[in-house]
Every structure is written in structure tokens, then in C-alpha cells.
Amino acid sequence: MTPPPSTKGRTIIKINAFTQARLIRLLLDGDLNCAELAQETGLHYVTVLQYTRELHRAGAAHIVRWEKDSRDRDSLKVYKLGVGKDAKRDKLTAAQRQERVRKRKQMASLLGLTAGPPQ
């Protein structure tokens, strides 16, 4: 018999009818991204991703909006149960991306100048 996988101190919550019902109830509102759904249901993030992707692929859910990640890109999907049209993803033009790179480099150089020499 193989030992159970390491849980790193976390409680393992297996998918069952109640947990699936909680996930469905939260998806009805359509105001949580997958990380927040995982937090609310206690399911693993990857499990929530798999369920939401399959619901979307089957046409039972749609993307209501995109949330920005730490780099200010639209990459976090917010799903809602029901038939609907997927929200459009805002994409930056090449000029906008280049402008961000320039600003980031300028800020890095300014921080380097004001920080002073290392001691």
C-alpha cells in the first residue's frame, strides 16, 4: 500500500456532491475568479481550473469578465454558469507595451540613482 501524498499541513477536501454544489452556487453569481473559488470551496486550484474549463468547453458556462494579474494583463477569467457570449479580452498594442517597458526601465534607473551606492 502506498502512503498518502503530502498535504503540507492542509486539509484534503475531496470532491463530493456538497462541494460540487457549493462550486455551482458560486459560479451562478459569476463574481469570483478560480483562485477565489478554490478558497471558498476548499478545493485545490487545479481542480477548480479543470471543472471551470470543462464547463466552458461544454457550453454550460461563459467568461463574464477578465481580471488583471500582477503585471496588469487580462489573464484571470471569471466564469458564470449559463449560456452567454464570452467577454472580450483587452490586448495592448505594440506601442503600449513598449511604452510600459520604457517606463519600467526609467523607474528602475531612477531608483538606482536615489538609492545611493551600496555600503
Domain ranges across the chain: 17-110
Q: How far apart are CA 50 and CA 36, in angstroms?
A: 15
Tell me which architecture the domain covering 17-110 has in CATH. Answer: Orthogonal Bundle (1.10)
Does pLDDT of 6 surpass 80? Answer: no
Per-residue model confidence (pLDDT) at position 1: 47
pLDDT one-digit tens code per residue, 49-102: 999 999 999 999 999 999 988 777 888 999 999 999 999 988 888 898 899 889
- First-to-last alpha carbon distance for the chain, in angstroms, is 57
Taking the C-alpha atoms of residue 55 and residue 78, their distance in angstroms, rounded to an integer, is 13
Assess whether pLDDT exceeds 50 at residue 40.
Answer: yes
Q: Which residues contact 50 (CB under 8 A, 6 or more apart)?
A: none
